[in-house]
Structure 1
Amino acid sequence: MPVTVTHPTVTTTMGSPTVVGSPRALTQALGLLRLLQLVSTCVAFSLVASAGAWKGPMGNWSMFTWCFFFAMTPVILLVELGGFQARFPLFWRNFPITFACYAALLCLSASIIYPTTYVQFLSHGHSHGHAIAAATVFFGIACVAYATEVAWTRARPGEITGYMASEPGLLKVLETFVACLIFVFISSPYVYHNWPALQWCVVVYALCFILAAFTILLSLGNCTNMLPIRFPSFLLGLALLSVLLYATALVLWPLYQFNEKYGVQPWQARGVSCSDRNPYLVCIWDRQRAVTILTAVNLLAYVGDLVYSAHLVFVKV
């Protein structure tokens, strides 16, 4: 009978049991790593706030990211210090690694987007710029700290753990994260409203995101047994459907955005539209290219998800 990783029984940190329900949890490697996450996110948003160095959608989004993860990391620390895992509303074996994976991805994106779309347009003094540069460095440190937690706590071969700690579970996080980035770039309807084919791509992005998010919520709520079919079979069917849908989007989106035969402007004209723009906004041409790249990235993620899901169904016994 094929098996899947759904019901964890142990948690390890660098090969040794994690101490929970005791102040010793802070002295373990994972506890120290979370303290580093807390400090780095605190310093990052404090420096930006003190300098007043956020403006426009990108600056506001970066500030929200810093503050959100600074607020959530102590929650995880307090739950483990008090041994409240059983009382936590979500399945604890899946929650911390899911949170850490999202945090690593969001911190990485913010540490890239914030300086490239905001810092380069600043016209303030050296002290102002140094504060922002230091904040970017600390946000990069937070990204590395969260990514290290994911690497330490993910499932090892032969280990029984939660689905979100396995490769398919982590890929689900990546798929939903990339889909959210796509939604940001297509937030303006004029990017796709002229063509039914582009509207189909938007439907693909939304449908695949909903299905992947539903899978994550099932795992976090420990509700996989409520499905009418076995969880591995559900994952396989979902991955196959998503690969097929994203394959159509990867063909249609660039075809109708960049091909002059379908009435779009040549790339030279689109390039001009980006020359004189608000430095804190992303022009149409850049949005279209970004969505194309992100569609290809998500298709690769779904292909990897399909391979892992097929392995769970057909190979594992």
Structure 2
Amino acid sequence: MLVTMASSSGSPNILGSPEVLCRLLQLLSTCLAFSLVASVDAYVGFSGDWCMFAWCFCFAVTIIIIIVVELGGLQARFPLFWRNFPIIYAYYATLFCFSASIIYPTTYVQFLGHGRTRGHAIAATVFSCIACVAYATEVASTRAQPGKITGYMATAPGLLKVVETVVAGIIFAFISDPYLYKYKPALEWCVAVYAICFILAAVAILMNLFNFTNALPIPFPSFLSGLALLSVLFYASAMVLWPLYQFHERYGGFPERRRDSVCSTGHVHYVCAWDRRLAVAILTATNLLAYVADLVYSAHPVSV
């Protein structure tokens, strides 16, 4: 397939630049990942659905960037939007493929018996890892070029905002069944924390993406510091309440995995409740650390 890239002047360049080759690798690896899984219907359950979504989303957006925008030269019509969109997307695609490369084999592939389905699932995992490396390479090469990206997304807090939203998205996947938190106000508060902080981080990214930072009544750095501080306080409460009410017997929790009968069975098409609770606790701690780092960087901005 012949692929060209539009230069800043609108004239196409023939295939051969590292950026184009990298995006072709992204297309091929994500396409093979979801095709291999779909061909044997090896994506039953929420973890499989998340991974399939990650691969399909990355494939679709990458092909839009290459064919519709780069080949058509339409990026010149969106100068403010397009300035940071590719790097923001590359951040997300890297994390999406990374999460799929971890979640799919640990929650699904390892339970499959030997045969065609397992072979396809393992191959899909390999291509997911390749896609992750390809997207990470694009991020590294873009950030290494002075002036390629500007503003907030060129900083560490910009990357941290992407991490925070992706981790929150994975948390939502793990708590997709309401029985994990329903009728327990403390756990419902934790879910509210995940949702509120996700929205706040997404708003910060969108404001930067569409260049709305000057529309605020306060300086954008002060706004970001306020969001980071609020998110740290919220996540700190969730970090205490979620494990307490999920794993402590006094509060109706289950301290041992063996008490979940589903966890002791063979392969199941979904992650058992105890494993979900543990995954959310780990992800909550991960996001809390990300928000703490975000707060530190926001208070003492350092260009990276």
- Count residues with an aligned counterpart: 296
Partner of residue 92, structure 1: 82
Unaligned runs of 5+ in 2: 1-5
Residue 211 of structure 1 contacts residue 238 of structure 1 at CA under 8 Å; is this kept in 2? yes
Question: Mean Cα displacement is larger for which, 275-284 or 167-176?
Answer: 275-284
Structure 2 residue 212 is the aligned partner of structure 1 residue 231: no
The separation in 2 between residues aligned to 1:22 and 1:158, in whole angstroms, is: 21
**1:223: how far off?**
1.2
For 2:271 and 2:138, locate their aligned partners in 1 and report how far apart those are by CA, in whole Å: 33
**Are 1:241 and 2:241 matched, yes or no?**
no
Q: Confirm or deny that 1:117 pairs with 2:107.
A: yes
Q: Which residue in 2 is equivalent to 1:183? A: 172
| Larger mean Cα displacement after TM superposition, 88-97 or 100-109 | 88-97
Q: Which moved more, 1:227-236 or 1:157-166?
A: 157-166
Q: Give the Cα separation in 1 of the matches to 2:156 and 2:143.
A: 8
Q: Does 1:146 find its partner at 2:130?
A: no
Is the counterpart of residue 102 in structure 1 residue 92 in structure 2? yes
Cα distance per residue 1:99-130 (max 9 Å; x no partner): 111111111111222223222333463x4433
Deviation (angstroms), 1:86: 2.7
Structure 2 counterparts to residues 207-218 of structure 1, below 5 A:
207-218=196-207
CA distance in structure 1 between the aligned counterparts of 2:144 and 2:199, rounded to whole angstroms: 25
Corresponding residue number in structure 2 for 1:82: 72
- Residue 295 of structure 1, CA deviation: 0.7
Structure with higher RCO (Cα < 8 A, 6+ apart): 1
**Which is further off, 23-32 or 263-272?**
263-272
Given that 2:186 and 2:245 are in contact with CA atoms closer than 8 Å, whether structure 1 keeps it comes out as yes
- In structure 2, relative to structure 1, the CA distance for the partners of 1:158 and 1:85 (3 Å cut) is closer
Q: Is the 8 A contact 2:83 2:149 kept in 1?
A: no
1:71 aligned residue: 60
The answer to whether the 8 Å contact 1:25/1:31 transfers is: no
Quick one: distance in 1 between partners of 2:162 and 2:78? 21
Shift in Å, 1:171: 0.5
Does the CA-based 8 Å contact 2:246-2:277 persist in structure 1?
yes
Q: Give the Cα–Cα distance (whole angstroms) in 1 for the partners of residues 89 and 70 of structure 2.
A: 15
Contact 1:273/1:285 (<8 A) preserved: no
Moved more, 87-96 or 218-227: 87-96
Cα distance change, pair 49–285 in 1 and its aligned pair in 2 (3 A): closer
The equivalent of 2:209 in structure 1 is: 220
- Residues 44 and 270 in structure 2, CA contact (< 8 A), matched pair in contact too: no
Q: 1:154 to 1:195 in 2, by over 3 A?
A: same
- Greater displacement, 295-304 / 282-291: 282-291
SS of residue in 1 equivalent to 2:264: coil
Q: Is the 8 A contact 2:142 2:148 kept in 1?
A: no
Contact 2:232–2:288 under 8 Å retained in 1: yes
What SS does the corresponding residue of 2:43 show, helix, strand or coil?
Answer: coil
Larger mean Cα displacement after TM superposition, 90-99 or 174-183 = 90-99
The answer as to whether partners of 2:47 and 2:104 remain within 8 angstroms in 1 is: yes
Deviation at 1:145, TM superposition (A): 0.5
8 Å CA contact 2:164, 2:290 repeated in 1: yes
2:190 paired residue among 201, 215, 218: 201
Give the letter aligned to residue 85 of structure 2: F
Aligned in 2, Cα 1:295/1:268: closer, same or farther, shift over 3 Å?
closer
Q: Alignment partner of 2:100: what SS?
A: helix
Partner of 2:284: 295
Contact 1:155/1:165, CA 8 A, preserved across alignment: no
Q: Tell me the residue number matched to 1:35.
A: 24
* d(CA) in 1 for partners of 2:201, 2:238: 17
Does 1:259 pair with 2:248?
Answer: yes
User: CA contact under 8 A between 2:80 and 2:209: conserved in structure 1?
Assistant: yes
Deviation at 1:73, TM superposition (A): 0.8
> If the length of structure 2 is used for normalisation, what is the TM-score?
0.87
Distance 1:292 1:128, change over 3 A: closer
Shift of 1:204: 1.2
**TM-superposed deviation, 1:271:** 4.7
SS where residue 93 of structure 1 aligns?
Answer: helix
1:49-68 matches, within 5 Å, as 49-68=38-57
1:157: how far off? 8.4
Which of residues 24, 38, 49 in structure 1 aligns to 2:13?
24
2:48 partner letter: G
- Of 23-32 and 221-230, deviating more is 23-32
